Homo-oligomer: A and B are copies of this chain.
Amino acid sequence: LPDPAVAALIAKLSSHSFIAPKDERSLAQLHPRRVSVSRMRDLVRQGDRPDASVFVLSGMLARYHTLASGDRQYLSLHIANDLPDIQSLFLQVMDHSLCSLDDAEVAFFSHEELFALLANAPSVTFAFWRQTLLDAAIFRQAITNNGLRRGGERLAHLFCEQFTRAQQAGIAADHSCSFPLTQTQIGQMLGMSLVSVNRAAQRLLKERCAQLRSGKLLVLDWNRLKSRANFDPSYLHLDLHAPEIGRRMRRTSE
C-alpha cells in the first residue's frame, strides 16, 4: 500500500497529465518525510540549497521575497496537493522563501529520490514540468493583477483565484474556503497598505460580493464577485484536467 502522500501526489499529477503505468509504479516507491508545521514557520529560506521538495497535504503555504529593507512580498499561495518548491530541483539556490500561513501538513520528497525517478520516468518529468508551468501562469496573472487593477478589483481577483483553486483541489465548501491571511499579509501580497485592504474588503462586503471572517473567505455572490474582479480563469488552465498531451507524448515515444 503506497504512502498516502504519494497517493495524493499521483492523483494530483494524473489530474492534469498522463502518467505511464510503469512510471506510476516508480512513483509509488518514493519515501516522503511527513512533517507538521505550525503557522508562520519558514520551511525553506531565500539562499538555501534545499535537498528535498515540499508537497502540501493540508493547510496553506506561501512563497515570498524579502528585500534588504526587510519588506516582504508574498508571491503565491499554496494549498493541498500543491508542489510549491519543485523548482528547487533545477534552481539549486532558492531565490525566495517558503513559509506556512496556517498550521499545515507537508511531505518532503528528497531530490535524490526524485532525480533517480525522473531519469527513467519521462511521463513524471513532463507532469512535474507542467506543474511548474501552471505556477508560472499564476505568477504572470499576479503581475497583471497588481499592475493593472486597483483596490477592490485587485482584492476581488485574489478571492476569485483562491476560491477557484480551492474548489479544484476539492477543499472548498459550497460558498467558502480557507483563507488564513491577515489583512497585513494580503497587503504584502497585493502591494497595498493594510488600511487599503481593510477598506477594499469592506466595499466587497457592502456590495455583497464576499466576506473575510476568522480565516475563511465567504463568497456571498460568486457571479458578482467574478464580474467585480473581471476574473477570467483561463490562465489556471483548468481544461488540462483532460490530460491529452501526456498521451500524445506517449504515442510519439513508442
User: Which residue numbers of A lie inside 8 Å of B, CB to CB?
Assistant: 47, 63, 65, 67-69, 71, 73, 75, 87, 90-93, 95-96, 112, 115-116, 118-120, 122, 125-126, 129-130, 132-137, 139-144, 146-148, 188, 190-191, 230, 232, 234-235, 237, 239-240, 245, 248-249, 252-253
Contacts and interface: CB of A to CB of B under 8 A. Distances in A.
Given A65-B144, A90-B133, A112-B252, 7 more contacts: A95-B140, A118-B126, A125-B126, A132-B132, A136-B139, A139-B143, A143-B146
A67 B119 contact: no
A147 B73 contact: yes
How many identical chains are in the complex? 2
A140 B65 contact: yes
Nearest to A116: B252
Mostly, the A contact residues are: helix
A63 B141 CA distance: 12
Nearest to A16: B90
B146 A146 contact: yes
A135 B253 CA distance: 27
B93 A146 contact: no
Contact of A133 (B73, B132, B143): B132
Contacts of A90: 126, 129-130, 133, 245
Contact of A240 (B91, B122, B126): B91
B139 A93 contact: no
Contacts of A230: 67-69
Contacts of A115: 248-249, 252
B93 A237 contact: yes
A74 to B, nearest CB: 9
A91 B142 CA distance: 18
A22 to B, nearest CB: 15
A141 B75 CA distance: 9
B91 A144 contact: no
B249 A133 contact: no
Given A140-B139, A143-B142, A249 B148 contact: no
A212 to B, nearest CB: 20
Contacts of A141: 65, 95
Nearest to A69: B230
